[in-house]
Structure 1
Amino acid sequence: CLSTQVLLARHKETTRYFAVKVLQKKIILKKKEHKHIMAERSVLMKNIKHPFLVGLHYSFQTVDKLYFVLDFVNGGELFYHLQRERVFLEPRARFYAAEIASALGYLHSLHIVYRDLKPENILLDSQGHIVLTDFGLCKEGLEPNGTTTTFCGTPEYLAPEVLQKQAYDRTVDWWCLGSVLYEMLYGLPPFYSRNTAEMYNNILHQTPVLKPNVSNAGRELLEGLLQKDRTRRLGAKDDFLELKYHSFFSPVSWEELMAKKISPPFVPSVSSPTDLRHFDPEFTHLPVSSSLCSDSMAVTSSMKEAAGAFPGFSYGPPEEQSFM
Structure 2
Amino acid sequence: GLHEFIKRIVSHPQLLYYIICLCNHIHFHIGNPKIVSFFSSAKPTDFDFLKVIGKGSFGKVFLAKRNHDGKYYAVKVLQKKVILNRKEQKHIMAERNVLLKNVKHPFLVGLHYSFQTTDKLYFVLDFINGGELFFHLQRERTFPEPRAKFYIAEMASALGYLHSLNIVYRDLKPENILLDHEGHIILTDFGLCKEGISQTDTTTTFCGTPEYLAPEVLRKQPYDNTVDWWCLGSVLYEMLFGLPPFYSRDTHEMYDNILHKPLAKRPGASSTAWSILQGLLEKDGTNRLGSRDDFNEIRAHSFFSSINWDDLEQKKIPPPFIPNVSSYCDISNFDPEFTEEMVPNSICWTQEHSIVNASVMEADDAFVGFSYAPPSDDSFL
For normalisation by structure 1, the TM-score amounts to 0.96
Contact kept in structure 2, 1:89 and 1:185, CA below 8 Å: yes
Q: Deviation per CA, 1:22-63, whole angstroms, max 9, x where unpaired?
A: 001111100000100001000000000100000000000001
Contact kept in structure 2, 1:179 and 1:189, CA below 8 Å: yes
> C-alpha separation between the residues in 2 aligned to 1:312 and 1:321?
20
Moved more, 77-86 or 201-210: 201-210
Q: What's the counterpart of residue 235 of structure 1?
A: 290
Opposite residue 375 of structure 2, the aligned amino acid is P
Q: Deviation per CA, 1:226-247, whole angstroms, max 9, x where unpaired?
A: 0000000000000001110100
Contact kept in structure 2, 1:43 and 1:135, CA below 8 Å: yes
Q: Deviation per CA, 1:179-219, whole angstroms, max 9, x where unpaired?
A: 00000000000000000000001000111222131000000
SS in 2 for 1:106: helix
Q: What's the counterpart of residue 302 of structure 1?
A: none
Opposite residue 130 of structure 1, the aligned amino acid is I
Residues 1:92 and 2:147 are matched in the alignment: yes
Q: Deviation per CA, 1:64-102, whole angstroms, max 9, x where unpaired?
A: 000000000000000000000000000000000000000
> C-alpha separation between the residues in 1 aligned to 2:96 and 2:380?
18
> C-alpha separation between the residues in 2 aligned to 1:282 and 1:120?
15
Q: What's the counterpart of residue 324 of structure 2?
A: 269
Residues 1:211 and 2:262 are matched in the alignment: no
- Of 149, 154, 165, which aligns to 2:220? 165
Contact kept in structure 1, 2:363 and 2:369, CA below 8 Å: no
> C-alpha separation between the residues in 2 aligned to 1:181 and 1:297?
48
Opposite residue 256 of structure 1, the aligned amino acid is D
What is the CA distance between 1:3 and its match in structure 2?
2.6
> C-alpha separation between the residues in 1 aligned to 2:195 and 2:285?
20
- Of 127, 147, 157, which aligns to 1:102? 157
Q: How many residues align?
A: 319
> C-alpha separation between the residues in 1 aligned to 2:348 and 2:262?
50
Note the 1:121-200 alignment, pairs <5 A.
121-200=176-255
Q: What's the counterpart of residue 135 of structure 2?
A: 80
> C-alpha separation between the residues in 2 aligned to 1:172 and 1:135?
15
Runs of at least 5 residues in structure 2 that lack an aligned partner in the other structure = 1-55, 355-361
Contact kept in structure 1, 2:176 and 2:188, CA below 8 Å: yes
Quick one: percent identity of the two aligned structures?
A: 67
Q: What's the counterpart of residue 66 of structure 2?
A: 11
SS in 2 for 1:192: coil
- Of 322, 345, 349, which aligns to 1:290? 345
Contact kept in structure 1, 2:363 and 2:370, CA below 8 Å: no
Gap change, CA 1:321 and 1:266, over 3 Å in 2: closer
Q: What's the counterpart of residue 98 of structure 2?
A: 43
Note the 1:43-62 alignment, pairs <5 A.
43-62=98-117
Gap change, CA 1:205 and 1:249, over 3 Å in 2: same
> C-alpha separation between the residues in 2 aligned to 1:306 and 1:140?
22
Gap change, CA 1:239 and 1:273, over 3 Å in 2: same
> C-alpha separation between the residues in 2 aligned to 1:183 and 1:321?
41
> C-alpha separation between the residues in 2 aligned to 1:308 and 1:116?
28
> C-alpha separation between the residues in 1 aligned to 2:68 and 2:377?
11
What is the CA distance between 1:149 and its match in structure 2?
0.3
SS in 2 for 1:51: coil
What is the CA distance between 1:298 and its match in structure 2?
6.5
Contact kept in structure 2, 1:25 and 1:306, CA below 8 Å: no
Opposite residue 7 of structure 1, the aligned amino acid is F
SS in 1 for 2:233: helix
For normalisation by structure 2, the TM-score amounts to 0.82
Contact kept in structure 2, 1:4 and 1:22, CA below 8 Å: yes
> C-alpha separation between the residues in 2 aligned to 1:210 and 1:219?
8
Contact kept in structure 2, 1:26 and 1:306, CA below 8 Å: no
> C-alpha separation between the residues in 2 aligned to 1:117 and 1:39?
16
Contact kept in structure 1, 2:116 and 2:363, CA below 8 Å: no
Q: Deviation per CA, 1:272-296, whole angstroms, max 9, x where unpaired?
A: 1111111110011111111122211
SS in 2 for 1:309: helix
Higher-Rg member (1/2):
2
